[in-house]
Amino acid sequence: MVGVINFGGQYAHLIARRLRELGVKSELISPDVKIDRLKKMNPQALIFSGSPYSVYEKNAPKIDPKVYNLGLPILGICYGHQLMAYQLGGKVASHQAKQYGKEDLEVIKRSPLFQALSKKETVWFSHGDHVDDLPKGFVVIAQTKNSKIAAMQNQSLNFYGIQFHPEVTHTTGGMKILQNFLFKISKAKKDWSLPQVKEQIIKETKKQIGDSKVLMAISGGVDSLVAATLLKEAVGKNLYPVFIDTGLLRAYDVADFEDILKKVKFENVVIVKAEERFLKVLKGVVDPEEKRAKIAKLYFEILEEEAKKIGKVLYLAQGTIYPDRIESAAPTKHADKIKSHHNVTLPHGLKLKIIEPLADLYKDEVRKLGKLLNLPDEFLNRHPFPGPGLAIRILGEVTKERLDIVARSDEIFISELKSTGIYAKVAQSLAALLPVKSVGVMGDARTYSYIIALRSVDTLDFMTADWSKIPSEVLEKISSRIVNEVRGINRVVYDITQKPPATIEYE
């Protein structure tokens, strides 16, 4: 096992996930851990994560300096790199030249950490502080234009620090760096696989639930489908899948759900029509967090109503995955909240116990798990769709008219991506209605209509993402169709922002 000391960085769990990808069991550990407790956990190595804090801030998370006396290999990433330097006698300072996004890294000294990498690598930064002076015994092993100590090492102690993030896919040699740290430096052993995780989830779920009834909120999306199938294996006929037609769905979602029912053969399925109820609670609501809260509250009220009808239901299962939790700042008290997700923001007074079988997995892992469960590819390869639905793809108040506009625009966008073969090559695509109008000319007359923003991203883990390079002629056709076929739209724009700084969804 390799311990990941979680200082609250948005990518802390992604580090642990990358280690699993390399076949090594990993565990997130609080920086408040006692040294005696850490010894009992017997990690083969430690990795220090990033953090939204600066090391010199009063409330910045720190680890007991005795950790450096345990004889364990340590890799510090971003804040972890700075903290190691700071605690071992180096100097950390805030610079005017911040680093966010891709930069070229120049390897200037041989190091086992960079073995089999080229002298110049593209890496991903997300920080405002720098290590200015090295701790005693350390040497610089890599630099960038804006960071003279982009990586450091004390090879005799097996301590390594890097200012960039090897765990994100934008760092081209990131996996090789982690692989070098695990197997060349730490001599770690492979001890993790997805089939083991599948059996463990089923076993633990059986133990937790026993003979109790479980309500499963199922949307037809990948996450809830895989979670429901796992639960079906664990509890059989005690599973009650519930599909709520909120009116916030895309044109094809209900039909797709009915198709899923036929192929997967769930029993005890409940379908609830609730469009009018959701539109009523969203009337006049503009703030995205208030939208999410109202949707979540009503969603869970309906689930509780259905649980009462079924009778003796003790558990509510959800398809929550790790990116949902990390953006809601659930994993650690040191994390910054980005936005809440309806399936991790539970209303007060909820009487059902929550089960989240996929809460520690990423989207690509969920899809692989679905393959192990023999689910059809056409379901597993669907693009993600948020729990609050189209409500968070309408920036501003949700109305029936606006829902129709964004649903039709999305349908055109997705159908064109599928017909050109692009849909299967990108990770997620969406249409969003912007809260502004623009002047246009249609049929020799002046128009003043809404703007649709199209967004498509490439990503493996949904923690970082790059915008999809869709051919201009395809975008031109999509734009032309939306403007001509969707009443109320006279302009279409394409979003070319990476994540970070933007999130994939608009709200």
| 78 is known as an active-site residue | yes
Place 347 in a pLDDT band, splitting at 50, 70 and 90.
Answer: low
* Res. 348 pLDDT band, cuts 50 70 90: low
pLDDT at 27: 86
Q: Note the pLDDT of residue 99.
A: 64
Cis bond leading into 500, ω under 30°?
Answer: yes
Partners of 143 in the beta sheet?
A: 106
Q: What is the mean pLDDT of residues 90-103?
A: 80
Instruction: Kindly tell me if the per-residue pLDDT of 152 is higher than 60.
Output: yes
Q: What is the pLDDT of residues 17-65, one digit of tens each?
A: 899 999 998 988 999 999 999 999 999 999 999 998 999 998 999 999 9
pLDDT tens, residue by residue, 233-249:
999 999 999 999 999 99
pLDDT of residue 330 exceeding 80, the answer is: no
For the chain, percent of residues with pLDDT exceeding 70: 94
Mean pLDDT on 436-449: 91
Helix%, strand%, coil% for the chain, nearest 5: 35, 25, 40
Provide, rounded to the nearest whole percent, the portion of the chain with pLDDT above 90. Answer: 73
- Let me know the angle formed at the C-alpha of 26 by 346 and 156, rounded to the nearest 5 degrees: 140
Of 250-264, 287-301, 403-417, where does mean pLDDT reach its minimum?
A: 250-264
118 annotated binding-site participant: no
472 is in an annotated binding site: no
Q: Is 502 exposed, middle or buried (0-12, 13-18, 19+ CB in 10 A)?
A: middle
Query: With 80 as the cut, is the pLDDT of residue 98 above it?
Result: no
pLDDT tens digits, one per residue of 210-228: 999 999 988 878 999 999 9
128: confidence class by pLDDT, cuts 50, 70, 90: confident
With contact defined as beta carbons under 8 Å apart, do 48 and 63 qualify? yes
Confidence of residue 260 (pLDDT cuts 50, 70, 90): confident
222 marked ligand binding residue = yes
pLDDT higher than 80, residue 350: no
Residue 344: what pLDDT? Answer: 43
Mean pLDDT of 304-309: 92
Domains of the chain, start order:
2-185 (3.40.50.880), 194-380 (3.40.50.620), 399-494 (3.30.300.10)
Residue 335 has pLDDT above 50, yes or no: no
Q: Look up 327 and say whether it is catalytic.
A: no
Q: What pLDDT is attached to residue 338?
A: 43
Residue 182 has pLDDT above 70, yes or no: yes
pLDDT band at 96 (very low <50, low <70, confident <90, very high): low
**Is the confidence at residue 150, as pLDDT, over 80?**
yes
Q: Quick check: 363 and 461 in contact, CB under 8 A?
A: yes
Determine if residue 336 is labeled as part of a ligand binding site: no
- Name the catalytic one among 21, 103, 167, 327: 167
Q: Is 224 annotated as a binding-site member?
A: yes
Instruction: Write down the pLDDT at residue 475.
Output: 99
Q: At what angle do helices 472-485 and 400-419 cross, to 10 degrees?
A: 150
Catalytic position from the list 78, 304, 334, 356: 78
| Annotated catalytic residue, options 165, 334, 341, 342 | 165
Q: Work out the pLDDT band at 189, boundaries 50, 70, 90.
A: very high
Assess whether 167 carries a catalytic annotation.
yes
Confidence of residue 174 (pLDDT cuts 50, 70, 90): very high
Q: Is residue 277 pLDDT above 80, yes or no? A: yes
pLDDT for 329? 47
What residues have CB less than 8 Å from 171, skipping those under 6 apart?
121, 122, 123, 124, 164, 165, 177
- Tell me the residue ranges of DSSP E strands in 325-368: 353-355
- Looking at every residue in the chain, the average pLDDT score rounds to 91
Q: Give the H/E segment covering residue 490.
A: strand 489-494
Per-residue pLDDT band for 15 (boundaries 50, 70, 90) equals very high
Kindly state the helix (H) or strand (E) to which residue 434 belongs, with its residue range.
strand 428-442
Read off the pLDDT band of 254 (50, 70, 90).
confident
Residue 493 marked in a binding site: no
The whole-model pTM stands at 0.71
What three-state secondary structure class fits 165? coil
